[in-house]
Structure 1
Amino acid sequence: MDARAAPAERPTRRARTGPDRRTFLRNSWLLGMGGTLGAFGLASIGFLWPRLGGGFGAEIHLGTVEGLRTAIEEGGGRFEYPAGRLYMVRYDAAQDPDGVYLDVTGGGPVMALYQKCVHLGCRVPWCASSSWFECPCHGSQYNRWGEYRFGPAPRGLDRFPTEVRNGEVYVNTSQIVTGPSRGTNVLGQPPAGSHCT
């Protein structure tokens, strides 16, 4: 008999289950990139998709004519609606015998003005002392109806079409109507006091 012991049997390796390390890392990387691109794509669509919930770019219901007229009076001559980027002002057809603003007002007693200055796009605030809209950026001034009065602006404030249906006021902020030319002064309103700009 041979005194040497028989060699020990090598343990058998278990068969691998699942992917190897390289496959796992590649799949993880692809899954991460796919998730990131998918989230970016959804965020881009959400950013570009118009919001139609009563804000800028939609038809906005502002309430009753009487309620809006009261809000305009309480606001010193204008009602501001920031979500729609607009001001509402009183409109009197008797002061507009040629009907210059009849189409944009729909014959109603109110007019919607875009808050953006037509010069370089700054927001134009209301000046309580002059009762005009006065741009703080470059000094353009507009009367209560948004007609050009002074400054570098090329025309009056742009407007939004307004419609009164069953005593309720609707403003279509998806359609911007170009403001009146520099020479238009239908309202003929002088400043009520000192200017803010």
Structure 2
Amino acid sequence: MSLLGLYLPGGSMLHRAPAATKLIGLVALALVTQLIPWWARCVLLVLVCGLYPLARIDLRFALRQLRPLWWMLAAIGVAQLVFGSWQLAVSVVVTIGLLVLAAGLVTLTTTTTDLSDVVVAALGPFRRFGVNPERVGLLIALSIRAVPVVLGLAEQIRDAQRARGKTLSPRAFAVPLLVRALRHAQRMGDALVARGVDD
């Protein structure tokens, strides 16, 4: 099962850091990666990996977050090599890995409730324009929790196809994943309606 979206309790400095600070840092990191060369992105990747031991999280445990993405990263890297350059391939692959690991670090050290509370507080001033901050916060919380579910479904489909000895074609992978994801979304929607949260 994917580790994305899971919270690991702890008392490290990163666990104690405010959720707002971590979210702002994540957004800033995403912006900075678009302004720096490929080698600087590699340096940032090493730095983010170094934050995991600081948070008292085993780096091998953290790298498992990338396991469902290896095939996608490989495909993107090959495409960039064919149609671009090796620098572009490194930039794109490293950036995706960097942001996934950084986002994983945030969700591993921050509860979903704290993250959604930050979103609700940030959107408070927009209430006068008809924005419902609580509903947006709920959407964010559900989205974070859906990430490990969808990635877990992807792993199940790949494992089932390998067990049957079938080659993994994009269509044979995408169709069952879409069907299972829609079924999960339907069950989630039914549960919310049953609890009085309408659309």
User: TM-score higher than 0.5 here?
Assistant: no
TM-score normalised by the chain length of structure 2: 0.22
Q: Which has the higher contact order (CA 8 A, sep 6+)?
A: 2
The structure where strand makes up a greater share of residues is 1
The structure where helix makes up a greater share of residues is 2
TM-score normalised by the chain length of structure 1: 0.22
Greater radius of gyration (CA):
1
